[in-house]
Structure 1
Amino acid sequence: MNKYTLWSLRLGFSGKQSSKIEKLGLPTFLEKSFASPFDKKVPQLLDKSPKSLEELKSKRQEIKNSNSEQAKELLKVEFQVSQEMKAWWLQKMINDEFPLREKMVCFWHNHFVCTFQKVKVNYWIYQHNQILRENAFSNFKTLTKKIIQTNAMVRYLDNVDNKNDKINENLSRELLELFTLGIGNYKEEDIKNGAKGLAGLNIGENSAQYRRFLENNDTISYFGKTGKFKIDEMVDIIFEQKAIPYLITRKILQWFIYDNPSKTLVTYYGDYFRKVNFEIKPLLIKIFTEEFPKDNAGSKIKDPLVYIMQVMNELNVEQLSPKLLAFYLKQQGMDLFNQPNVKGWNGGKEWLTSQIYLQRNNVADLLCNGKNISRKAQFMDNDMVKENINQLVKVSLNWTKAGNNKTIIAELQDRLLFQTNENLQKDWETILKYDFNPKADGADNAVMRLFNNMIKTPEFQIV
């Protein structure tokens, strides 16, 4: 596979940026990615969703006072807004000239998990997502402080139930186990005392805030330090621990390059992360620039986002509904804003189960034949995709209409596959025979059949 295409897939969601990386060089491409602008305005799709606590209280009262059918309709509106948010985010991923920020937002989204299914307030989920966007390349400690104090997080991890007289340890545990240190790097005492420090951190107007009558002001011991600690002081103490850089460094390597990064690499980059005081941008620059020259293609299974967006980009698909795309991702186990649990999507081999592989091959057939990515009748009951089910999709494949069958095969191989073998070559030369005429009337169809065959191979599923 062409190195620039490989890194376009890693630093974005498709091969769309490969020519930019080649032309600009990786360091300049990264700088432009870090400096890429993003919209800070609340999207219009949230206009009718409650944003203030007063509006939320009013909406809940309206639902409470409605009959069952009316209440169902009111709840349905909020569910539909949550689907619109998925489409809104996917449009950003597709349209951004430098998509690394959105790729990083998606990483943080799967690290600091909060789901609409449990939070049930779209505006809080949007706030959470926007904080990830604004701080995607900033400081890990600062981001941790901000994200723990979102309304979405205190609702999702049950800190609204964590009170002075009834301690709930959920947020305290995940803060250590999943967000910062990882299992084995803390004691149960730290979780219990940390929960006391978090008691009373509850829903606020624009972010979570401590409620004076619910908080616990006991003197606690936290990682060997004694005091009356609240969330900011707790995070400061966590970031003094020896293990702090390695969990997140491993996850960043897994997200971008290696499903199974070596302990040596994790330690090497983790030590650097500590040295730069947990600044994310210099860590990313170091990882990307040092891994770029290595021969490391084929080290990661594509997630559903990268798979479908690469295919769409190759086929120059423009009019595919982002709502339908979101539904396809849900089928593939990558439901945006709704991970299966607080651990998020596990990735790796779970992105290539027999069912997911079959779904990908079915989608390849549909798109290569100009059809939408699902034709199943079950979609007819889903308002989100109902209008798009029978829509035809205009597709076209770019290839050099000169040379012979072997040069055309090689061109597609270079864009699509991290490796090939003799048997695959024979299969492709059966599709494009030795006397293939690139100027013939059916040439495009023949090359499309070749493309379809290539993207169904296990080799295409790996990057």
Structure 2
Amino acid sequence: MEERGTIAHILRRTTFGPFPGDVESRVGQDVEGVVGAVLAAPAVTPGLPRFDEESEDDGAGPLAEWMRAMRHPGAGVHEKMVWFWHAHLTSSHEKVDSWQLMWDQHLLLRRHALGNFRTLLDAVTVDAAMLRYLDGDGSEATAPNENYGRELMELFALGRGNYTQAEVRAAATALAGWSVGENLEVRFDRQAAAVLPGIMFGRLVSGARDVIDAICEHPACARFVAGALHRFFLGTDPSPQRLDELALVFRGANLEIAPLVSAILRDDSFPAARGTRPRYPIEWVVAALAACGIDDAATAYDTLVALGQVPFAPPSVAGWPAGPQWLAPSRALARSALAVRAPALPEIAGAADPVAAAFARAGLYQPSETTVSAARELHARLRDRDPLRRSAVVLALILASPEFALA
């Protein structure tokens, strides 16, 4: 089971799976083969959603369409990077108040997910949803709004301690003049823009492109982004030496994202980094729905709400926190409830070994002895019950297990 466990680990970190059958289809591939395949997988093209401002659980809405892309059988690391950037360069539908603008931003992130970081920042800086979310919409140089300039440096590209209030003010002034029109188009008003250039990090900045260039060429930029991606994929901070190495790769690639992701995933530390971070709720829900055989937007939405993470609705500009709060016992009921009427139960109940079949559907090939013993003991204790009910209880236990909660 070691081989299957390794494959499952790689797929948990680089996709929203593994989905039933994924691991078995890759048996015989070594680590490089699996990593290479998810890196090379073509980007998924989501369907065109229906924009209903009153319904977040619309089966044809933006969230449902995105989740279909997440569980697409051909999805690779590109889809996981779309999620990373949404949580990193985040905006909220609650404030933006337009599904059209949120979806346009989503497509922007999809286009640049593995492209160039400088180009991505250029695009998102004057994106309509971002202009609304961080108050760039209508900002004038005579009294510039500083929200975006500050978050651009603190949360998006440099990190705390690598800029001063003077840089925030200069960025805000240089970014003034952009607005979102009544027809949702982005406009630039030279009358509202800065007349004279400001100074950021010793450079003259006169507009958005100058601001992004000044930030991207700051020595902290490559290290900040490399560290964020290392934490996302491995669940831990890189050592100072490893961070230096990754920053060098990123700078050497002119801030191209794909080579940085490849360097992280192809390092020996990646396949060994098991159980080092919880699955985010969105990762857990997509995988759990697949394990149960459920394809229902309302169920997905309700479970995400119960677990505390709904895409397009971050709690703050910092996105969603990482950490053990996603493992809270209070969420166990929401995790196990999906198994009650799972369409996959007949398949599990009809297997020669229903317990092993349930673990396989969940993509767990090296569960702890404690979890295996609990599942088998529970299945045996319910021997007089209906086979579907026995399988439902076992699947619920597996979905609520520590192993399934970890990426």
For normalisation by structure 2, the TM-score amounts to 0.86
1:431 is matched with which residue?
Answer: 378
Distance 1:247 1:289 in 2: 20
Query: How has the CA–CA distance of structure 1 residues 325 and 402 changed in structure 2, closer, same or farther, with 3 Å as cutoff?
Result: closer
Instruction: Give the letter aligned to residue 38 of structure 1.
Output: T
Match among 306, 314, 321 for residue 283 of structure 2:
306
Shift of the alpha carbon at 1:195? 0.9
Shift of the alpha carbon at 1:196? 0.8
Query: How has the CA–CA distance of structure 1 residues 121 and 19 changed in structure 2, closer, same or farther, with 3 Å as cutoff?
Result: same
Check the 8 A contact 1:109/1:129 in 2, yes or no: yes
2:324 is matched with which residue?
Answer: 349
Shift of the alpha carbon at 1:253? 2.2
Q: Is 1:420–2:368 an aligned residue pair?
A: yes
- Taking the TM superposition and a 5 Å limit, the aligned residue runs for 1:304-453 are 304-315=281-292, 317-318=293-294, 320-360=295-335, 364=336, 366-370=337-341, 393=343, 395-398=345-348, 401-402=351-352, 408=356, 415-416=363-364, 419-421=367-369, 423-432=370-379, 446-453=390-397
Distance 1:323 1:404 in 2: 28
Query: How has the CA–CA distance of structure 1 residues 396 and 285 changed in structure 2, closer, same or farther, with 3 Å as cutoff?
Result: farther
2:8 is matched with which residue?
Answer: 5
- Taking the TM superposition and a 5 Å limit, the aligned residue runs for 1:174-323 are 174-203=151-180, 208-226=186-204, 228-291=205-268, 294-315=271-292, 317-318=293-294, 320-323=295-298
Larger radius of gyration: 1
Distance 2:399 2:225 in 1: 32
Instruction: Give the letter aligned to residue 14 of structure 1.
Output: G
Q: For 1:429-452, what per-residue CA distance to the aligned partner results, in whole angstroms no more than 9, with x for missing partners?
A: 423559x99xx9966654554333
Query: How has the CA–CA distance of structure 1 residues 98 and 414 changed in structure 2, closer, same or farther, with 3 Å as cutoff?
Result: closer
Query: How has the CA–CA distance of structure 1 residues 453 and 45 changed in structure 2, closer, same or farther, with 3 Å as cutoff?
Result: closer
Instruction: Give the letter aligned to residue 460 of structure 1.
Output: F
Check the 8 A contact 2:128/2:180 in 1, yes or no: yes
2:23 is matched with which residue?
Answer: 18
Match among 106, 110, 119 for residue 133 of structure 1:
110
Shift of the alpha carbon at 1:281? 1.1
Distance 1:294 1:102 in 2: 20
Check the 8 A contact 1:115/1:338 in 2, yes or no: yes
Match among 44, 50, 55 for residue 45 of structure 1:
50
Q: Is 1:36–2:13 an aligned residue pair?
A: no
Match among 394, 399, 405 for residue 455 of structure 1:
399
Check the 8 A contact 1:298/1:418 in 2, yes or no: no
Q: Is 1:147–2:124 an aligned residue pair?
A: yes
For normalisation by structure 1, the TM-score amounts to 0.76
Shift of the alpha carbon at 1:81? 6.8
Check the 8 A contact 1:245/1:274 in 2, yes or no: yes
Query: How has the CA–CA distance of structure 1 residues 291 and 201 changed in structure 2, closer, same or farther, with 3 Å as cutoff?
Result: farther
Query: How has the CA–CA distance of structure 1 residues 23 and 136 changed in structure 2, closer, same or farther, with 3 Å as cutoff?
Result: farther
Shift of the alpha carbon at 1:267? 3.2
Distance 2:203 2:132 in 1: 28
Distance 1:309 1:348 in 2: 19
Check the 8 A contact 1:21/1:29 in 2, yes or no: no
Distance 2:349 2:264 in 1: 33
Q: For 1:137-188, what per-residue CA distance to the aligned partner results, in whole angstroms no more than 9, with x for missing partners?
A: 1111110100111111111111124212222111111111111001011111
Instruction: Give the letter aligned to residue 461 of structure 1.
Output: A
Unaligned runs of 5+ in 1: 47-76, 372-392
1:163 is matched with which residue?
Answer: 140
Q: For 1:49-102, what per-residue CA distance to the aligned partner results, in whole angstroms no more than 9, with x for missing partners?
A: xxxxxxxxxxxxxxxxxxxxxxxxxxxx52337852111211221235224322
1:374 is matched with which residue?
Answer: none
- Taking the TM superposition and a 5 Å limit, the aligned residue runs for 1:70-109 are 77-80=52-55, 83=58, 84-109=61-86
Distance 1:327 1:452 in 2: 17
Q: For 1:26-47, what per-residue CA distance to the aligned partner results, in whole angstroms no more than 9, with x for missing partners?
A: 25413432x33525x7x2514x
Q: For 1:333-385, what per-residue CA distance to the aligned partner results, in whole angstroms no more than 9, with x for missing partners?
A: 2111110110000122231234333432xxx2x332216xxxxxxxxxxxxxx
Aligned-residue RMSD, C-alpha: 3.2
Instruction: Give the letter aligned to residue 171 of structure 1.
Output: Y
Distance 2:202 2:185 in 1: 29
Query: How has the CA–CA distance of structure 1 residues 431 and 359 changed in structure 2, closer, same or farther, with 3 Å as cutoff?
Result: closer
Query: How has the CA–CA distance of structure 1 residues 290 and 22 changed in structure 2, closer, same or farther, with 3 Å as cutoff?
Result: farther
Query: How has the CA–CA distance of structure 1 residues 449 and 410 changed in structure 2, closer, same or farther, with 3 Å as cutoff?
Result: closer
Shift of the alpha carbon at 1:134? 1.1
Check the 8 A contact 1:412/1:451 in 2, yes or no: no
Distance 1:250 1:113 in 2: 18
Query: How has the CA–CA distance of structure 1 residues 425 and 112 changed in structure 2, closer, same or farther, with 3 Å as cutoff?
Result: closer
1:68 is matched with which residue?
Answer: none
Shift of the alpha carbon at 1:271? 2.3
Q: For 1:295-328, what per-residue CA distance to the aligned partner results, in whole angstroms no more than 9, with x for missing partners?
A: 221111011122222222223x14x311331232
State the secondary structure of the residue aligned to 1:213. Answer: helix
Query: How has the CA–CA distance of structure 1 residues 287 and 22 changed in structure 2, closer, same or farther, with 3 Å as cutoff?
Result: farther
Aligned residues: 396
Query: How has the CA–CA distance of structure 1 residues 177 and 411 changed in structure 2, closer, same or farther, with 3 Å as cutoff?
Result: closer
Query: How has the CA–CA distance of structure 1 residues 207 and 22 changed in structure 2, closer, same or farther, with 3 Å as cutoff?
Result: farther
Unaligned runs of 5+ in 2: none
Distance 2:99 2:44 in 1: 24
